């Protein structure tokens, strides 16, 4: 099982992403275990961070369990991406409906979808990963639990 943490903040960037994508949430992280997350955040790129810190900044949060064949494969893929840059052009490309995705850069939803694919769950055709937003992941029919 792969857990995804969806969050939103009281921040102009969070509001803008929610507005453009028609979503309650603006960010998604992969839960590594009870204390740590991995995700792509602007401007830092792909980083590990503490779950308590993410939740302290969040005004709303939800966890979704995504069934996968091998969580270790998802985790190892995501960890291999640490240090890669944030995909600014990919995020801008969502609004412009253009494919600007780059495998050396990630947005939060691109990273989560790619990790799920590496774990045996292919919820989306990979040719559309450049268009995936947190809202698309939320639309998957898997168990969700609000935590904040």
User: Which residues neighbour 77 within 8 Å (Cβ) at sequence distance 6 or greater?
Assistant: 114, 115, 118, 119
Q: What is the mean pLDDT of residues 66-83?
A: 96
- Cα gap 122→82, rounded to integer Å: 22
Whether the pLDDT of residue 27 is over 70: the answer is yes
Largest CA distance in the chain: 37
pLDDT-derived band of residue 77, with 50, 70 and 90 as boundaries?
very high
Return the domain boundaries, the chain: 2-146
- To the nearest 10 degrees (0 to 180), the angle between helices 108-118 and 71-80 is 130
Looking at domain 2-146, which of 3.40.50.1820, 3.90.1720.10, 2.60.120.10, 3.40.190.10 is its CATH number?
A: 3.90.1720.10
Q: What is the pTM for the complete model shown?
A: 0.89
Whether the pLDDT of residue 133 is over 80: the answer is yes
Q: What is the mean pLDDT of residues 92-117?
A: 76
């Amino acid at each position: 099982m792969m857990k995804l943490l969806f969050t939103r903040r009281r921040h102009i960037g969070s509001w803008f992403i929610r507005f453009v994508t028609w979503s309650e949430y603006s960010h998604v992280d992969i839960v590594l275990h009870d204390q740590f997350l991995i995700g792509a955040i602007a401007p830092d790129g792909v980083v590990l961070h503490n779950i308590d810190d993410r939740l302290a900044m969040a005004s709303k949060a939800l966890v979704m369990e995504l069934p996968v064949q091998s969580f270790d494969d998802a985790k190892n893929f995501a960890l291999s991406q640490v240090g890669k840059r944030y995909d600014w052009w990919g995020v801008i490309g969502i609004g412009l409906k253009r494919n600007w995705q780059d495998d050396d850069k990630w947005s939060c939803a691109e990273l989560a979808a790619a990790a799920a694919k590496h774990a045996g769950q292919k919820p989306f055709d990979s040719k559309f990963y450049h268009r995936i937003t947190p809202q698309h992941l939320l639309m998957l029919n898997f168990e969700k639990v609000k935590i904040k």
